[in-house]
Structure 1
Amino acid sequence: MADPTVLTIILNYRTPDLTLKACEAAMREMEGITGEIVVVDNASGDGSFDILQQAALDRGWTEDNRLRVLQSGWNGGFGAGMNFGMRAGLTSGQVPDYYYLLNSDAWPEAGAIRLLRDFLRDTPTAGLVGSHIKGPDGVTHTTAFRFPSIAGEFEAAARTGVISRLLKDSIVPLPQPTAISRVDWTAGASLMIKSEVIEATGGFDEKFFLYFEETDLCRRAISAGWSTHYQPDSHVVHIGSVSTGMKTWSRTPQYWFDSRIRYFTKNHGVFYTILSTLGLITAGTLWRLRRLVQRKPQADPDRFLIDLIWHAIATPFRGPAHPVPAAPVSILEDPK
């Protein structure tokens, strides 16, 4: 029986130096695995495409179609860029058995890609599997989650022990598993997906610019009969939020609020979304009262609660905040 094929997709947006480091790690870990690497530049506009293309040629990575650098032509966000890479397929024109999604600021360690491939190969009902993610300092990042809910939103915003204990089964971040485990969803920094999942779901919903796109895909995968898993032995080092700047946000960008609203309305309906937002506002207000009394440090970006309220009020009266393709293309079509 032939080895399953893997198409590794690395998305670049104005991080060429980090992307080259991710390519180097991916090239090493793809040795002995049947497949290729595609680097997608999401219209960086900073010379990234030329830098990556020239570096790939200079380092011999493009020989035997091992690696290609492609230009998506527009910055549609994470999901749109990854969809573009998946549509590109293998150089032969064939659809790979698995797609491996890797962030530009993430570097798989020894065996990381192979372990994900082997798990999907050996587990017929599994559709997606993610890695154990850690920072350069070795500290584990939380990447195994439950689906968001009204109770989960309330618990996260309240930041209160008694509430967390009462709603323990709704807390979105799971205790990081120490064995291979089924989870609701996992982060897209290092995520392998069976091609059948993409065929069944149509890939990422490109109306999510950033955030919640993996959550939405994993939910749709479940509806199509595919489960998501966490593989703790597949180790990947990830800096995190380099392209988005999330770690240094002074204000939460509108696209985060847009993605949150879209996730809830798409998967639960308008009434549930209203209740979840009211719960988030109520719990956030309780937290701010505690901060005043107990002099707790600030935990959210500036004006988060006010921005949340204004976004909820304004959402019904405005169109999308970022470009959306006019005519979505089947994920398995040839982009050429």
Structure 2
Amino acid sequence: MNIYIAVISHGHSDLINQLACLPLLSKEYQVVIKSNKSKDHFDSWIESPNLYWIDDQYGCGFGRNNNIVFEYCRSELRMTEEDYFIVLNPDVIIESKEIERLIDHMSVGGVKLSAINLLKDRNKMIYDQSIRKFPTLLQFVKSFLGLGNSSILDKSSLISSSKVDWAAGSFLAFKSGHYAKLGGFDENYFMYCEDIDICYRSYLSGERVTYYPEISALHLAKHANRELFSMHFYWHITSALRFLLTKVGLTKKKSSLLE
């Protein structure tokens, strides 16, 4: 059983070099960086064993990029269905021992999709709002208008491993065979809601996300979707509508199959 980590860089090489998290992870696991822009540059560690760099096919969305890495791991690195595939943001700092603990928990519990406790400060006092209930149209609208979001789960109330609806794509861990069974991320999303969508499809398949609050990482998150009329805001709106329509369609399809 091996662990493969996918990191998508949108010109984040300066940040990746500065944080120096990936060279440490590559000492234990297979790390694949996929550049989405041509301006990336990495220090000499990029040629280290267990660290691979896909420097082509620019301008893809989040889902497409991660699917490219997944296929690379299968075809070039011989990843099997029994291995684990982790989607990791370039601005997440996690120690190898935390990943080891996570995979141990997943293996013992037979878990195929999991998330961890992302935090926004090094003192581990500020939670990243990374686990939530599946959103409704009203919740999306209120969130966009800055009126709060009732789909957010209170992490302080979850003190042991719990089943949740969905977790942010900043960190998601899959059993490789489960990712393949789901068909990976839906590439019809360009950015935003791909994580909700794949977690929803996993939920319909009978596998909910398992959240492990005792396993943590630092997420230096910077959200760019709130500026009205920006491309990020447009992508978020269209992705939210796509998910809501897809959710209705998938639910109806599952219901008809059960009749």
Report TM bin, short chain.
0.7 to 0.9
The counterpart of 2:172, out of the listed 191, 202, 205, is 191
Change (3 A) 1:72 1:204: farther
Does structure 1 retain, via aligned residues, the 8 Å contact 2:191–2:235?
Answer: yes
Counting matched residue pairs gives 242
Q: Once the 2 structures are TM-superposed, how far is the Cα of residue 200 of structure 1 from its aligned partner?
A: 1.2
Does structure 2 retain, via aligned residues, the 8 Å contact 1:72–1:81?
Answer: no
| Correspondence 1:159 to 2:163 | no
Match of 2:131 in 1: 144
Match of 2:246 in 1: 266
Matches of 2:58 and 2:141, distance apart in 1: 36
Change (3 A) 1:129 1:146: same
Q: How does 1:42-53 map to 2 (within 5 A)?
A: 42=36, 44-45=37-38, 47-48=39-40, 51-52=41-42
Match of 2:255 in 1: none
Q: Once the 2 structures are TM-superposed, how far is the Cα of residue 250 of structure 1 from its aligned partner?
A: 4.8
Matches of 2:129 and 2:65, distance apart in 1: 24
Does structure 2 retain, via aligned residues, the 8 Å contact 1:183–1:229?
Answer: yes
Does structure 2 retain, via aligned residues, the 8 Å contact 1:112–1:131?
Answer: no
TM-score with structure 1 setting the length: 0.65
| Correspondence 1:102 to 2:88 | yes
Match of 1:254 in 2: 234
Aligned-pair Cα RMSD in Å: 2.6
| Correspondence 1:79 to 2:73 | no
Change (3 A) 1:95 1:110: closer
Change (3 A) 1:135 1:89: same
Match of 2:108 in 1: 122
Q: How does 1:224-235 map to 2 (within 5 A)?
A: 224-235=205-216
Q: Once the 2 structures are TM-superposed, how far is the Cα of residue 99 of structure 1 from its aligned partner?
A: 0.6
Matches of 2:3 and 2:34, distance apart in 1: 16
Matches of 1:149 and 1:140, distance apart in 2: 23
Q: Once the 2 structures are TM-superposed, how far is the Cα of residue 112 of structure 1 from its aligned partner?
A: 2.0
| Correspondence 1:236 to 2:222 | no
User: Identity percentage over the alignment?
Assistant: 20
Does structure 1 retain, via aligned residues, the 8 Å contact 2:137–2:244?
Answer: no
SS at match of 2:181: helix
Matches of 1:136 and 1:18, distance apart in 2: 17
| Correspondence 1:172 to 2:172 | no
The counterpart of 2:224, out of the listed 242, 245, 268, is 245
Matches of 2:121 and 2:154, distance apart in 1: 21
Does structure 2 retain, via aligned residues, the 8 Å contact 1:186–1:215?
Answer: yes
Aligned letter for 2:165? D
The gaps in structure 1 that reach 5 residues or longer are 165-170, 273-336
Q: After superposition, give the CA deviation of every residue in 1:140-196 in whole Å (9 maximum; x if it has no partner).
A: 111111001245346655838xxx9xxxxxx31011122211100011112111112
Matches of 2:224 and 2:56, distance apart in 1: 22
The counterpart of 2:33, out of the listed 34, 39, 58, is 39
SS at match of 1:141: coil
Aligned letter for 1:121? S
Aligned letter for 1:114? E
Change (3 A) 1:110 1:194: closer
Change (3 A) 1:197 1:240: same
Matches of 2:3 and 2:14, distance apart in 1: 24
Aligned letter for 1:265? L
The gaps in structure 2 that reach 5 residues or longer are 253-259
Matches of 1:74 and 1:132, distance apart in 2: 31
SS at match of 1:265: helix
Does structure 2 retain, via aligned residues, the 8 Å contact 1:127–1:221?
Answer: no
Does structure 2 retain, via aligned residues, the 8 Å contact 1:101–1:190?
Answer: yes
Q: Once the 2 structures are TM-superposed, how far is the Cα of residue 79 of structure 1 from its aligned partner?
A: 1.1
| Correspondence 1:28 to 2:9 | no
Does structure 2 retain, via aligned residues, the 8 Å contact 1:143–1:186?
Answer: yes
Change (3 A) 1:180 1:72: farther
Change (3 A) 1:82 1:21: farther
The counterpart of 2:201, out of the listed 220, 229, 234, is 220
